[in-house]
Amino acid sequence: MYTEKKIIIGDIMEVMRYHSTKGGSAQRGEKEKESTPAQKKANEIRTGNELWRVIYINFDGQQGDQFNTFTFAEDIGEEAARKEWRNFIKRVRRYVKKKGMPELKYVYTLEKQGRWHIHAVMNGIPLEDLVKLWGRGRVTSSILDKTNDYKDLAAYITKNTQQEGEKEGAGGEPEGKRKNKRSWSGSLNLQRPIVTVKEIKRESIMRKIPEAPKGYILLPDWKVGCDSWGNLYQHYKCRKIADTGKAKKGRKKAGKTKAKKRR
């Protein structure tokens, strides 16, 4: 049987159609076990896809949201770095509340290249204030750029991070390292993509070029083909078309009004 997985990511609809085992939605595995490097790469891609979807829904450079890197001035251990991050988030929450700003949202990852540092996507805060709130070293900041729907940013964040992440506790703080976790974490108030899974009743649809539903346009990076078992698959994305109906109606009405005045 074939399965369709649809993911709504704001104004983007992502569709994956693939062969699955009877009674389940899991895609059939490859014939041969993947090598460790290949599996690692697959995990990076999957994690990056999860992250760009979350960033796309929750953050917008036009609203001043930022990508920040927080570096420690001194060489400290991992647990100390995590504790400093939790304390920093508490200070930022007090700051945004005092300023009457929107509730803090963030995604972050802890990375060690030389000294521990933290990559974080979060609400826009003036750099001068951000440096004071951090207070532990250097801060670099840039306004988010939506080019490629944040896929490049998500790939950069997840590429060299640990495969183990943290589970969020109450308030969004990590509870410590455990196995098989994401390499990034985020605040509990993040919006999530809407995912639906259903069985495809007509397999003939798998032999057709993907089409965008009404109100959407098909994006150019669609893929169709066969897996190593000879089963068909499709992966494509559509973007919602801005509703211009009211604007056109308004222009038509204005034109009629002008015509009446000329009479």
Report pLDDT for 38: 80
Q: What pLDDT is stored for residue 167 in this prediction?
A: 40
Q: How far apart are CA 167 and CA 178, in angstroms?
A: 8
- For position 160, what pLDDT does the model report? 56
Cα-flanking dihedrals φ and ψ of residue 122, to 5°?
A: -160, 175
CB 11 within 8 Å of CB 56 = no
pLDDT at position 181: 45
Q: What pLDDT, on a 0 to 100 scale, did the predictor assign at position 11?
A: 95
pTM of the model: 0.78
DSSP class per residue in 7-64: EEETTEEEEEEEEB-TT--PBPPPSSPPPHHHHHHHHHHHHHHHHHHHHHHH--GGGT
Fold of 58-186: Alpha-Beta Plaits (3.30.70)
Q: Residue 32 — φ and ψ, nearest 5°?
A: -115, 145
pLDDT at position 26 is 52
Q: What phi and psi values does residue 53 have, to the nearest 5 degrees?
A: -65, -45
29-53 pLDDT tens trace: 444 455 578 887 888 888 999 999 9
Note the pLDDT of residue 245.
58
Q: Please give the distance of CA 147 from its chain centroid, rounded to a whole number.
A: 13
Q: In the chain, which segments carry CATH 3.30.70.1910?
A: 58-186
CB 121 within 8 A of CB 145: no
CB 167 within 8 Å of CB 184? no
Specify the pLDDT at position 218. Answer: 96
List the structure tokens of 164: 């183990």
Specify the pLDDT at position 27: 52
Q: What per-residue confidence (pLDDT) applies to 44? A: 83
* Residue segments in the chain with a per-residue pLDDT below the cut of 50: 25, 28-32, 162-181, 247, 254, 258-259
